[in-house]
Each structure stands twice: as structure tokens, then as C-alpha cells.
């Protein structure tokens, strides 16, 4: 009681208040102000325009990555600020196709940024997609190239066709059921979901040598597709503020905790695939597994954590991208009757029967089919997110745009509709 009174006296006296204010000033306001002056005036990207919050803190990027509207945000920012925008303290977005080649070309003095490190299940779990060291990445590409050779892909085609048959069969069953139950001749199906199932099963075949069975007798595996989406969202979000992953902060944040746990479940699903590389087939995993001794330059293989990560990222890289593209192609064709009828004519006049529809010269001659796919990808790109590259020692310039960036900053090319 007495102590409280003494406290009150001291508080009223003002000395404690002054002390707390001083601590607040020295501990938070002063460093914050110094940082703000640095970020806005002296940072290597200080001269580029962008939203104030974005130039000051990664929280701005994090918020939009989490809400899933970063592509719309970038579109608006480029409309407002022009072709070069600093939307995060250390990152510049360039809305000009001229910058694409210089930045993403093989020999550019940039590397995949820390963004990709946030996708790894553990520091050593590095896949081709997630390798940020250029030498390391090149080595992984050499090994991966064996699994994607023309011969290897030819061997896998029958499994792709098998899963397409599963889809057709599943749709016929649903049609029959509906006809029997409701005497209706048409069925409404959410094709986006069915294409997800199709591609997920195909990826199981290609990567692990066995279908995930979501169109067949393992519908419970459809839950893994949801987890995959959640994992992708978690990755994209924490990559906007890498410290969240680096220091394990994400699992303590209420808005990220659910994503964190679902991503862990997705990783466990990938790891839990039995008999990896032992299907007796030349699936991608078996190429990677048996390539352990085969890197011609180093003679070393892919260590186990990297191998599992390779399987996991391949499923992510191939599933959503392909099913989104197929959904887009289907959507546009169903809304453009003339394009659809031209495609029908091309397919029916090229192939005599269903069995003939496979990779080869006849398929390659289907130029309208190819144009439909390319146009759908242009209008609804499956990878709408940014692909950040970090400038390496010595700096990096895009001479066509008269731009030069010092080492350490991140650059991305975000192509949105251009300003006139």
C-alpha cells in the first residue's frame, strides 16, 4: 500500500513519466526515425517512386501477399507511379517487357533472391526451383535435365493418357448417375476442381511413379490439393518478409499459424509417399535418385533433404500451374464459340481416333490448339506472382531503360497493362 502511494507520488512528480518517455524515445522513436530517413533518403533505391508504406516497411508487401491481391496492387501502383516502382524497401518492380530478358537470362548478374529460401522445408532442403546459389542451381539443372529429356518424357506419356481416361470415366459415371437420379441429360461440374484432380494425379505419376488416385479410389487424397494451395499461400506470404521464416516467427502469428501447420501437413504428405523411386518405372524421382552418382562434373548426388524437397516442389510447380492453365483454356473456349468450333475442326480433321491423340508431328501441327493455350496463358498467367532476383556483386543494369542497381537490391519484372 505504501509502495503504491510512493509510486503515485513519483508519477505525479513527473520524473517516472519523463524517464519512460525518454526510454520510448531512445528505444523506438529515434531508431525508427533514423531508419525512416535512411529508407527514404539514403537507401540505394531511395530515388524510385512508390507508396510511402511500401518504401518504409515490408509489412505493406506482406499484407497484400497474405490477402492475395498483390497482382492487382502492382497493376495499380504502376498506373500511379509509372513503369518503375519501389513497392517494398529493397525491391523494385519494372513494368516493361524490355527488362525481361536482361533480368531472367542465363548469364545475368543476378540470382534468385532470399524469397526462394523461404519455401524450403529446412535450410538444407534445396530443390532446383529453390536453389539460389548459381553454381548449385546449374548442377541441379544438369541432374534434372535427365528426367525431362525427350526420351524420358516419351516413357511417361502413357501414364498421362491413363489419368485423362480416369477423368473421362469419372465424368461419364457422374453423367449416368445424374441421368438415373434426376432424369437430366446434362450435369454441371466444377471443372476447375476436376482439372485439379487430373493434374494432381498426373504429377503423382510423373514424379513418384504412382497416381494420387484423386479421380479413382483415393478421393481422400483430394485434401492434399487443398494443403498444397495453403502451402503455396504460406510460402508466398512469408517470402514477402523473410525474417518470419528465418527466425521461426510465423508460427506465433495468429494470422499465419494455420497456414504454417497446413504447409507442414503438405510436406508430410509428400514425404509419406511409399516406395519413392522404386516403382520400377523411370519416373522423375527415380532419375533424381539414381543420378546420385551421375553428375558428370562433381560426381556427387542430391542429398536426401534436397531430394524430398525436389519431389515436393515439383508437385507444386507442376500442379497448380497446369490446372490453372487448363481451366483458363476451357473457360475462354466455352465463352468464345467461334474459337471453339475452329479448334473442334482442327482436332477432328487431324486425328482419326482418340488413340492417335498423343505427342508427335500431328499434335505439333495443331497450330490453333497451341494458339489457344498460349493466349489463355497470356490472359490468365498461372504464375501471376513476382519472381524476384537479387543483384550480385558488381551491380546490374538494364541499359535499354538506363537503369543500374547496386548489389543486394531485388528486382522483378511485373508485366501489367502499360500506360499510354
- Cα–Cα distance, 186 to 183 (Å, whole number): 9
Residue pair 383/321 in contact by the 8 Å Cβ criterion:
yes
What is the pairing mode between strands 91-94 and 84-88?
Answer: antiparallel
Q: Which of residues 200-229 bind ligand HEM (CB under 6 A)?
A: 206
With 0-12 CB in 10 A as exposed, 13-18 as middle and 19+ as buried, what is 254? exposed
Residues 321-350 that bind ligand HEM (CB under 6 A): 321-322, 325
Site string for ligand HEM, 18-57 (x = CB under 6 A): ----------------------------------------
DSSP classification of residue 420:
-
User: Which of residues 383, 400, 404, 406 is near ligand HEM by CB under 6 A?
Assistant: 383
Q: Which is nearer to ligand HEM, 321 or 350 (CB)?
A: 321
CB of residue 261 to ligand HEM, shortest distance in Å: 25
Q: Which residue's CB is nearer to ligand HEM, number 198 or number 314?
A: 314
Cα separation, 205 vs 213, in Å, equals 10
Q: In what order do the strands lie in the sheet with 84-88?
A: 84-88, 91-94, 410-413, 389-391, 110-112
The correct pick among 152, 317, 401, 403 for binding ligand HEM (CB under 6 A) is 317
Which one of the spans 21-29, 241-249, 315-323, 349-357 is the region binding ligand HEM (CB under 6 A)? 315-323
Element (H, E) at 103: helix 100-104
Kindly indicate which of the ranges 9-17, 167-175, 320-328, 341-349 contains the residues binding ligand HEM, using the contact rule CB under 6 A.
320-328
Contacts with ligand HEM: how many residues (CB under 6 A)?
A: 13
Q: Which of these ranges, 45-53, 250-258, 382-390, 407-415, lies near ligand HEM under the rule CB under 6 A? A: 382-390
For ligand HEM, which is the closer residue by CB, 99 or 129? Answer: 129
Minimum distance of ligand HEM from residue 381's CB (angstroms): 7
> Would you say the C-alpha torsion 23, 28, 31, 36 has a positive or negative sign?
negative
Pick the stretch among 241-249, 310-318, 356-364, 407-415 that binds ligand HEM (CB under 6 A). 310-318
Write down the residue that cell numbers 461440374 correspond to: 189
Cell of 388: 524476384
Nearer to ligand HEM by C-beta: 90 or 128? 128
Whose CA is closest to 227, among 259, 202, 197?
259
In eight-state DSSP terms, residue 283 is -
85 has which bridge partners?
93
Closer of 206 and 228 to ligand HEM (Cβ) = 206
178 binds ligand HEM (CB under 6 A): no
Binding segment toward ligand HEM, per CB under 6 A, in 178-186, 273-281, 294-302, 319-327: 319-327
Q: Does 128 bind ligand HEM (CB under 6 A)?
A: yes
Q: Does 318 bind ligand HEM (CB under 6 A)?
A: yes
- Could you give the CA distance from residue 289 to residue 209 in angstroms, rounded to a whole number? 13
Candidate list 12, 141, 251, 345; residue touching ligand HEM; CB under 6 A: 141
Query: In whole angstroms, how far apart are CA 249 and each of 31, 53, 118, 242, 243?
Result: 22, 22, 12, 10, 7
CB 96 within 8 A of CB 413: yes
Q: What is the DSSP string of 250-267?
A: GGGSHHHHHHHHHHHHHH
One of 161, 339, 340, 382 touching ligand HEM (CB under 6 A): 382
Which position's Cβ is nearest ligand HEM?
318
Contacting ligand HEM within 249-308 (CB under 6 A)? none
* Helix axes of 304-335 and 134-147: crossing angle, nearest 10 degrees: 70
- List the one residue from 387, 401, 403, 407 that touches ligand HEM (CB under 6 A): 387
The enclosing H or E element of 91 equals strand 91-94
The residues binding ligand HEM (CB under 6 A) are 128-129, 141, 206, 314, 317-318, 321-322, 325, 382-383, 387
Amino acid at each position: 500500500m505504501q509502495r503504491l502511494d510512493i509510486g503515485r507520488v513519483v508519477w505525479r512528480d513527473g520524473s517516472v513519466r519523463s524517464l519512460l518517455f525518454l526510454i520510448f524515445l531512445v528505444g523506438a522513436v529515434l531508431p525508427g526515425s533514423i531508419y525512416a530517413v535512411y529508407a527514404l533518403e539514403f537507401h540505394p533505391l531511395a530515388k524510385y517512386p512508390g507508396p510511402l508504406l511500401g518504401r518504409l516497411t515490408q509489412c505493406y508487401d506482406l499484407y497484400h501477399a497474405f490477402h492475395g491481391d498483390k497482382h492487382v496492387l502492382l497493376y495499380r501502383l504502376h498506373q500511379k507511379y509509372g513503369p518503375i516502382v519501389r513497392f517494398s524497401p529493397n525491391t523494385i518492380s519494372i513494368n516493361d517487357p524490355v527488362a525481361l530478358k536482361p533480368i531472367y537470362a542465363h548469364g545475368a548478374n543476378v540470382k534468385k533472391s532470399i524469397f526462394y529460401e523461404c519455401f524450403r522445408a529446412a535450410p538444407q532442403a534445396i530443390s532446383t526451383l529453390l536453389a539460389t546459389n548459381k553454381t548449385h542451381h546449374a548442377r541441379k539443372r544438369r541432374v534434372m535435365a535427365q528426367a525431362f529429356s525427350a526420351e524420358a518424357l516419351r516413357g511417361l506419356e502413357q501414364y498421362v493418357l491413363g489419368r485423362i481416361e480416369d477423368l473421362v470415366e469419372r465424368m461419364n459415371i457422374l453423367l449416368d448417375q445424374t441421368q438415373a437420379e434426376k432424369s437430366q441429360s446434362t450435369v454441371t461440374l466444377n471443372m476447375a476442381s476436376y482439372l485439379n484432380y487430373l493434374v494432381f494425379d498426373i504429377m503423382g505419376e510423373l514424379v513418384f511413379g504412382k497416381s494420387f488416385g484423386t479421380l479413382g479410389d483415393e478421393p481422400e487424397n483430394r485434401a492434399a490439393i487443398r494443403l498444397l494451395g495453403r502451402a503455396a499461400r504460406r510460402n508466398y506470404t512469408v517470402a514477402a518478409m523473410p525474417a518470419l521464416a528465418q527466425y521461426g516467427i510465423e508460427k506465433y502469428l495468429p494470422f499465419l499459424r494455420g497456414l504454417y501447420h497446413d504447409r507442414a501437413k503438405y510436406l508430410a504428405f509428400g514425404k509419406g509417399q511409399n516406395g519413392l523411386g522404386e516403382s520400377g518405372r523411370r519416373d522423375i524421382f527415380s532419375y533424381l535418385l539414381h543420378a546420385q552418382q551421375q553428375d558428370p562434373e562433381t560426381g556427387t548426388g542430391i542429398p536426401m533433404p534436397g531430394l524430398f524437397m525436389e519431389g515436393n516442389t515439383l508437385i507444386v510447380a507442376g500442379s497448380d500451374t497446369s490446372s490453372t492453365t487448363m481451366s483458363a483454356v476451357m473457360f475462354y473456349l466455352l465463352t468464345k464459340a467461334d474459337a471453339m468450333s475452329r479448334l473442334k475442326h482442327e482436332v477432328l480433321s487431324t486425328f482419326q481416333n482418340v488413340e492417335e491423340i498423343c505427342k508427335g508431328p500431328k499434335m505439333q501441327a495443331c497450330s490453333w490448339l497451341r494458339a489457344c493455350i498460349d493466349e489463355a496463358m497470356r490472359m490468365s498467367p498461372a504464375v501471376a506472382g513476382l519472381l524476384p532476383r537479387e543483384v550480385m556483386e558488381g551491380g546490374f543494369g538494364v541499359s535499354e531503360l538506363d537503369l543500374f542497381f547496386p548489389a543486394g537490391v531485388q528486382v522483378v519484372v511485373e508485366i501489367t497493362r502499360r500506360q499510354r
